Structure 1
Amino acid sequence: MAEWMYILLLTLMAGMAMPLGGVFASIDSIRPNWLNEELRHSVTAFGGGALLSAIALVLVPEGIEPFSIPISAILFLAGGVLFMWVDILLYKHQTSAGQLVAMLSDFIPESIALGASLALGKGSAALLAVLIAMQNLPEGFNAFRELKESGRMTNKKILWLFVLLAMAGPVAGLVAYFWLASFTALVSGIMLVAAGGILYAVFQDIAPQVRLEKHWGPPLGAVMGFVLGLIGFMLTHS
């Protein structure tokens, strides 16, 4: 299989986790009390664990390669500040699409990193695709709920919107593969900025949703999500 087709399949798989999460959320509308049960919190935590493993095992190790310590630190911090600014902007405008924007803001740079990784001959593309899919699933779930609660779109329209947005991943991955891979420092910088932003998002949006009184499964979900990334990392580097 040609590498560009491989990137297309990986990014499409990762992106389609968004509408899949929306499908689960739409089924839940039949039983709304399920949102407050342990499973939903555990799934959200699992996505957070997958995000942390993507940061620790892929984005940061590959992102710091061409940079000095001060530059690496500045780029990582810049990602956190950038996501904070987006978060503040969304709060001020009180938009119902806040979770949607947050989902795309990490999906696109991660897809760029995926395409560039394959172009540069690194073995982390498949691992990164799995981790992106694992985070997109709960994010798609939460974004569906936000849009549904706004009352402006039907379930079918929201799901079709998610399918359309999933196409942004293949576009970003192929752009990185054909045009950005030759700019190693630029791609590494994108990885570090994305890592800093994702870490901000984990503690701002995901971690607060995980805790559930008198239930201990959700934090374990975060551990399991990180373990998934660890296993994939070890398999691709053995």
Structure 2
Amino acid sequence: MEFGAVGWGLVVAASLIVGALVAVRITLPERVAATVSAFGGGVLLGAVALELVPEADQQAGLGITACGMLAGTVVFVGADFWLSRRETTDTMRRSRHAAAAGRPMMVSDRTEAARGQSIAAGIVVDGIPESIALGLTVADRELGVALLVGVLVGNVIEAYGAVQPIIASGYSRRFAVGLITAIAISLAGATVLGATLLSDASSNLVGGAQAVAAGAVLAVVSISIIPY
């Protein structure tokens, strides 16, 4: 079981690093990038509907599932609100909405850096509970395919979205890839944690963790993907 946990943790980390390396080599047109993000959002919604929420309800019941989803949503919304108070992040959001409407997107280097940092923060906030939930499915010997695909596709897309603006703002490629690599290591650790230390936890704790992950994923899709 420990070998499986470590193996899947490395897969989770690799998906982030792949996204970062692709961003270093390839720059997608804005609309193509938005389409890819929308696809990733759909996969994540599928993981929530088919894996996280049903499992949480079965393990912990409706009450804990609802509270856990609310907690996960509040954590991400709170982090997003804190980031949105920065003028550069507000400017970034307005620019991306303009791009979605087909208007010119004028951004400064500082705004580009803020955009990358915001996305990187989002990877941590939603990635940790997602990875823990993935580890829990490994511990149950019932690896959720929808959850796995959602995590891996989401990681690649989010890593790409974070690295591109960080590099465009003037930071080195080494810095951008190093930042994503550090986050990847933390998510790999969360996967191992879910599959080992939390594998013998009470069903309420397991279901609650899965519900928190579901809430965070819904918030990420609603705030970071759908509007753009």
Q: Which runs of 5+ in 2 are unaligned?
A: 90-112
Which residue number corresponds to residue 36 of structure 1? 30
Shift of 1:127: 4.6
Output aligned runs, 1:210-229, within 5 Å.
Answer: none
TM-score by length of 1: 0.76
89-98 vs 4-13, which deviates more?
Answer: 89-98
1:1-238 equivalences under 5 Å are 3-29=1-27, 34-37=28-31, 39-93=32-86, 94=89, 96=114, 97-124=117-144, 127-151=146-170, 153-183=171-201, 184-209=203-228
Question: What secondary structure does 1:180 align onto?
Answer: coil
Contact 1:48 1:202 in 2 (8 A): yes
Unaligned regions of 5+ residues in structure 1, if any? 210-238
Q: How many residues are paired up?
A: 200
Shift of 1:83: 1.2
Check conservation: 1:22, 1:141, Cα contact below 8 A.
yes
DSSP 3-state at the match of 1:18: helix
Deviates more, 1:59-68 or 1:189-198: 59-68
Q: Quick check: 63-72 or 136-145, which moved more?
A: 63-72
Q: What is the match of residue 213 of structure 1?
A: none
Distance 2:196 2:71 in 1: 26
Matched-pair identity in % = 29
**1:97-143 deviations in whole A, cap 9, x for unaligned?**
1110101212211111122222233342x553332111111101111
Using the TM superposition, name which of 77-86 and 67-76 deviates more.
Answer: 67-76
User: How far, CA to CA, are the matches of 1:123 and 1:194 in structure 2?
Assistant: 16
Please provide the CA RMSD for this pair: 2.0
1:50-86 per-position Cα deviation (integer Å, ceiling 9, x unaligned): 1111111111111111333233222212221221111
CA gap of 1:6–1:68, structure 2 versus 1, over 3 A, is closer
**Letter matched to residue 99 of structure 1:** I
The answer to whether the 8 A contact 1:99-1:146 is kept is: no
Runs of 4+ in 1 over 3 A off after TM superposition: none
Decide whether the 8 Å contact of 1:13 with 1:129 is kept in 2: no
CA contact (8 A) 1:114 1:173 kept: yes
Q: 1:118 to 1:17 in 2, by over 3 A?
A: closer
